[in-house]
Amino acid sequence: MFAILKLLLLSISSQLNADQGFDVRRHLCTVTRYDVAKDIANTSAAAANNIPNGCTPIHINLVARHGTRSPNKKRMRELDKLASHLGELIREAEEQNLSLEKVPSWLRGWKSPWRGKLKGGELISKGEEELYNLGIRIRLRFSELFDEEYHPDVYPIKATQVPRASASAVAFGMGFLSEKGGLGPAQHQSFTVTSEIPASDIILRFHDCCGNYKDFKKKQEPAVDKLKEPVLDEITTALVSRYGLKFTRQDTATLWFLCKQEASVLDITDRACGLFSPSEVVLLEWADDLELFILKGYGNSINYRMGVPLLEDVVQSMEQAIKANEEKHPPGSYEKARLRFAHAETVVPFTCLLGLFLEGSEFQKIQREEPLELPPKPPQSRNWRGSTVAPFAGNNMLILHSCPENSKSKYFVQVLHNEQPVPMTGCNGSDFCPFEEFKEKIVAPHLKHDYDSVCTAKLEEPEQKPVSNKLSQLFRCLLSLQNDDTQSTGG
């Protein structure tokens, strides 16, 4: 009997220790802060540097998501509704003389931290720091590329017109160009950030104008909600039993959203997050990852095929860099980096176009446009995690290297995801791929699809001129933007 009791106590102690070591901030899907995501990458990715001797970087493409932001107006209203409903649940329990001993004290009289705010979705100070520090790290890591005087043609910085993205570009530029200028005691350097109007930005906001994608997403969202329901129902039942309040499925979903916002934006992990056990957090994270996979990732080829204009822009910039290097253009006369700042809806499709976070057979499937299996349910392991794929400030960098002494290829592409080398399944699992092989095996299969054929219904007659197609596309895009709920786009 004593031995059984001892084993039981050891088991409980072991579980408590495991729970104490559990960091909810690592399980927030795309609401994960960049510093936490980088820790995840550092502990899970092979950081071996396979750059051969004699190779030097000659160009960088950066595609980055904006930094940590506040919730948008739509979600802030949702939190206000939660506050009202929690108050009703407490009053109902009191009227029925039910014990409130198990109810956390913070729930009584709780109000949203964002109540009364008229604006939302803006970059917060933590988000500014994420991009500012990223700019400094990139400059130091690739110092040979950034030793020239700043010029917007040499280091173009591009962003969408959504304020959190353009503010992220500014924060990055301040770090990237810190102490490079002569403005004030901090020696700031002024710089240019350019943007396309939303109606024509098919490079960084392609999802905004892609009518077929919007139709697909609208039809799929109810099915995604159905997939998540069993998880929410299971956890709702557990919460009702644990705290004695009649929580609904919607309450559970909103409390999980509150947990993610508190942990990421406010650094609070012991209130809303404390309502859930670690195993419940892991399940909720998986449900979020499913949604990301189906609506923005590998779940359907339209999710990433619409990003082909961005992929073409990246390859074109590398080809121009190779030409400048071959023709020995003088310093300052050619581009050395193309730096872009956008949204999860940009970074996730671009990640899929590169074929990252796939197993070998899965890469072949997406090349044939075959559906992939959904990410497996915990405790099974999975490659697809939103906290790694697209955290706040998440990014992909494509570094073009010149390797004049290499007999196989003179130019190679290295892919860094969140600043870590990441294997390209399409290049035999290497993170350092010959440029021509990169174009042939990873890029070319996508280029049979152009944006207009992927995103618009074939309303035009074949004999119409291309300019008519462009005007038609622009008109449809403008209509789409007018009808869009601007509070829920641009994650």
* pLDDT means over runs of 10, the chain (491 residues): 45 43 96 91 53 94 98 97 97 93 95 95 98 97 94 98 98 95 90 93 95 96 98 98 97 98 97 98 98 97 96 98 97 96 98 91 86 94 96 98 91 97 93 96 92 75 44 52 45 81
What the block records as the tokens of 414 is: 């290295």
β-strand partners of 354: none
CA distances from 415 to 384, 399, 419, 435 (A): 17, 6, 9, 12
Please check whether residue 362 is in contact with residue 425, taking contact to mean a CB–CB distance below 8 angstroms. yes
Q: What angle do CA 429, 432, 433 make, to 5 degrees?
A: 80
Q: Residue 462 has what pLDDT?
A: 38
Burial zone of 315 (CB within 10 Å; 0-12 exposed, 13-18 middle, 19+ buried): buried
- Say whether 262 sits in a helix, a strand or coil: helix
Q: Residue 50 has what pLDDT?
A: 72
Distance between CA 387 and CA 38 in Å, rounded? 10
Please check whether residue 66 is in contact with residue 420, taking contact to mean a CB–CB distance below 8 angstroms. no
Q: What is the 3-state secondary structure (H, E, C) of 419-444?
A: CEECCEHHHCCECEEEHHHHHHHHHH
Q: Which residues contact 14 (CB under 8 A, 6 or more apart)?
A: none
Q: Residue 7 has what pLDDT?
A: 44
Q: Residue 459 has what pLDDT?
A: 37
Distance between CA 411 and CA 403 in Å, rounded? 6
CA distances from 379 to 208, 263, 280 (A): 36, 23, 12
Please check whether residue 472 is in contact with residue 480, taking contact to mean a CB–CB distance below 8 angstroms. no
**What's at 221, amino acid-wise?**
E
The CA-to-CA distance between both ends of the chain, in Å, stands at 56
Q: What angle do CA 167, 352, 413 make, to 5 degrees?
A: 85
Distance between CA 321 and CA 8 in Å, rounded? 65
Which sign does the torsion angle of CA 244, 249, 251, 256 carry? positive
Core vs surface per residue 189-213: b (16+ CB within 10 A) or e: bebebebeebbebbbbbbbbbbeeb
CA-nearest of 132, 119, 114, 117 to 66 is 132
Distance between CA 14 and CA 21 in Å, rounded? 11
DSSP 370: P
Core vs surface per residue 236-273: b (16+ CB within 10 A) or e: bebbeebbbbebebebbbbbbbbbbbbbbbeebbebbb
Q: Residue 16 has what pLDDT?
A: 37
